Amino acid sequence: MLIQTDVLIIGSGAAGLTAALELADKLNVLIISKETLVDSSTWYAQGGIAAVLAEEDTTESHIKDTLIAGDGLCDEKAVRFCIENGKSAIDWLINSGVTFTKNDATDDFHLTQEGGHSHRRIIHAADATGKEVSDSLAAKVLKNKKIKILENHLAVDLIIKEKKCRGAYVFDKKKEKVLSISAGATVLATGGASKVYLYTSNPDGASGDGIALAWRAGCELSNMEFNQFHPTCLYHPDAKSFLISEALRGEGAKLKNYKGNQFMERYDSRKELAPRDIVSRSIDAEMKKTGNDNVFLDISHKDTDEIKKAFPTIFKKCLEFGFDITKDPIPVVPAAHYTCGGVKTDLDGQTNIKNLYAIGETSCTGLHGANRMASNSLLECVVFAKSSARSIKLNLDSKIIDLPDWDSSKVIRAGENIVIAHNWDATRRLMWDYVGVVRSNNRLEMAKEKIKLIFEEVENFYKNFEISSDFIELRNLVLVARIIIESAIKRKESRGLHYTVDYPELSEQAIPSSLSKDNMEF
């Protein structure tokens, strides 16, 4: 079955929804979403969006903070472009129906401060900013007649003809069949790959789909070794992937060990407000030093009513697990949170393949460098989605061509799902144990050998059996895991989120990493 559209958007987070709304004034848009329209990492984002909104703040200050957090690896052009467009991005969100929290007394927007920021510049919707953004944009998308949505669909592979992206093969999860979608432009907006790790703050869908699709199509990837671990995920056997926002530390929460002692001052003068890579490594070091599986985040010294008002979602969720954050410290542990690398693009989201764009966490514009600064991610989604939409409207390839149907003639029905379940679990445990917060040559080389065996088994399965949605995600996850390991091995220094005991110092030159099928054949 062939479907035709002007623009195909793969993914329905803040980046995908923004791009769709910006394109739909002139073009027909088709969004595919793996689950429901709002099921994305955006929906789970708590803290807020960084932008220069206060009188005492400046664009140059935000740029400087971002460059410092990126540890020498940011592309200053990308940083400047994103931050200079921050205020207009916030205005666009407000005009699109997003409601941000205001100060009771003055009726202006309430701004918080997070790690790495020198000013209060985080605009937010209580502690559920992502949900507010996602719901508001989705409501607007659903009303737009030029935007069509296919829920419960996921991309299998991109269709490349004559060195141009012509669309994608897409799996219908309910009918269990593959569709061919022809598009003048295709946008990858699938989020990151943090589900490659055993412990993560991300939803199940963060399996690196867009990155894997782009790699197989021949795109260049950059900085894939830089995986951000959020310092504070709720540590409880039943608390799946629940993040404790950095905004708590911005409002004065303290990190403590099992003895109840604060420890961050021993690791960094900025204490709890140091960038995430430093806080995560500090927690990791403290846990290894004490032999405990977690540390604690304590905000109980603040006013009870203020805590409940500022963090209603976190208060309610922690209470479900027996922790009253107005009285009790919260058990926390670092967890994989954000993929700072991705598909290399220019400032319009254009990849090295014509008609193929990547935006949001899937992409690597150079904005984040070696470590994303808090709350720059949703800003990136909106700013670069808008710039990519402008580029697509100016350069749309409207030529209609015949696309080959999906060929499943040589495969047989899949038999045992245990192969999928085992390799899914083995990959995530491997990445957590060998490619985590602190790395070493020995562990990385062992990971390389182990992931190669898993990769070959998965590819053999792909060639011989019918695909399923679980298998499509596994195939992407294993490929991205292998790319992360290869990228980590190539970086012979410690910079930002990549810390290795064998090369603890910075190299004199800060050079972004680059991998593609052309320079690394799997």
> Structure tokens of 126?
């209580």
pLDDT at 172: 96
pLDDT at 517: 86
Work out how many domains the chain is built from and give that number: 2
In whole numbers, what is the pLDDT of the chain averaged over residues? 93
What angle in degrees, to the nearest 10, is found between the helix axes of 377-395 and 76-84? 90
Last residue of a domain, one of 312, 336, 360: 336
The alpha helices in 339-411, defined as continuous H runs, are 377-395
pLDDT at 386: 98
Name the nearest CA neighbour of 208 among 349, 43, 341, 35: 341
Mean pLDDT, residues 40-48 taken together? 85
- Output the pTM of the full model: 0.91
Name the nearest CA neighbour of 66 among 378, 494, 376, 382: 376
Residue 318 domain flag: yes
pLDDT digits (tens, 9 = 90+) for 86-99: 999 999 999 999 99
Residue 166 vs residues 7, 47, 147, 159, 362: alpha-carbon distances, Å:
10, 37, 19, 5, 19
DSSP assignment of 189-205 equals -----GGGSSSBSS-TT
CB atoms near residue 453 (< 10 Å): 11
Q: How confident is the model at residue 400 (pLDDT cuts 50, 70, 90)?
A: confident
pLDDT at 411: 67
Name the nearest CA neighbour of 432 among 487, 357, 383, 485: 485
pLDDT at 203 over 90: no
Can you give the residue range of the structural domain that contains 473?
418-515
Residue 378 domain flag: no
Could you give the 3-state DSSP secondary structure of residue 164? strand
pLDDT at 288 over 90: no
Residue 22 vs residues 18, 96, 130, 140, 385: alpha-carbon distances, Å:
6, 11, 19, 11, 8
Residue 107 domain flag: no
Name the nearest CA neighbour of 152 among 352, 12, 319, 2: 12
Q: Cα(156)–Cα(176) distance, rounded to whole angstroms?
A: 12
pLDDT digits (tens, 9 = 90+) for 228-273: 998 999 999 888 778 898 889 989 999 999 999 999 999 999 999 8
Residue 135 domain flag: no
Residue 115 domain flag: no
Does residue 50 contact residue 382 with C-beta atoms inside 8 Å?
A: no
Residue 205 domain flag: no
pLDDT at 410 over 90: no
Handedness of CA 133, 136, 142, 143 (dihedral sign): negative
pLDDT at 416: 64
Q: CATH number for the domain including 326? A: 3.90.700.10
pLDDT at 320: 95
DSSP class of 254: E
pLDDT at 305: 95
Q: How far apart are the first and last CA of the chain?
A: 31
Residue 315 domain flag: yes
> Structure tokens of 304?
């009870």
Last residue of a domain, one of 310, 336, 362: 336
The helix (H) or strand (E) run that includes residue 94 is helix 86-95
Q: Cα(149)–Cα(170) distance, rounded to whole angstroms?
A: 13
Q: How do 2-10 and 29-32 pair as beta strands? A: parallel
Q: CATH number for the domain including 503? A: 1.20.58.100
Name the nearest CA neighbour of 145 among 253, 29, 8: 29
Q: How confident is the model at residue 45 (pLDDT cuts 50, 70, 90)?
A: confident
Name the nearest CA neighbour of 49 among 76, 96, 89, 19: 89
pLDDT digits (tens, 9 = 90+) for 153-181: 999 999 999 899 999 999 999 999 999 99
Express as a percent the part of the chain with pLDDT over 90. Answer: 79
pLDDT digits (tens, 9 = 90+) for 350-387: 999 999 999 999 999 999 999 999 899 999 999 999 99
Mean pLDDT, residues 197-203 taken together? 88
DSSP assignment of 275-337 equals -HHHHHHHHHHHHHHHT-S-EEEE-TTS-HHHHHHH-HHHHHHHHHTT--TTTSPEEEEEEEE
Last residue of a domain, one of 336, 358, 378: 336
Specify the residue for token string 């029905």.
413
pLDDT at 414 over 70: no
Q: Is 270 a catalytic residue?
A: no
Residue 57 vs residues 118, 166, 329: alpha-carbon distances, Å:
9, 44, 33
CB atoms near residue 346 (< 10 Å): 18
pLDDT at 449 over 80: yes
Residue 307 domain flag: yes
Name the nearest CA neighbour of 487 among 477, 475, 498: 498
Does residue 33 contact residue 159 with C-beta atoms inside 8 Å?
A: no
Q: Which of 80, 276, 443, 475 is catalytic?
A: 276
Does residue 455 contact residue 479 with C-beta atoms inside 8 Å?
A: yes
| Residue 481 identity (one-letter amino acid) | A
pLDDT at 24 over 70: yes
Name the nearest CA neighbour of 307 among 295, 318, 293, 292: 318
Does residue 339 contact residue 484 with C-beta atoms inside 8 Å?
A: no
Among the residue ranges 3-7, 43-47, 97-101, the one predicted with the least confidence is 43-47
| Residue 323 identity (one-letter amino acid) | F
Q: How confident is the model at residue 397 (pLDDT cuts 50, 70, 90)?
A: confident
The helix (H) or strand (E) run that includes residue 174 is none
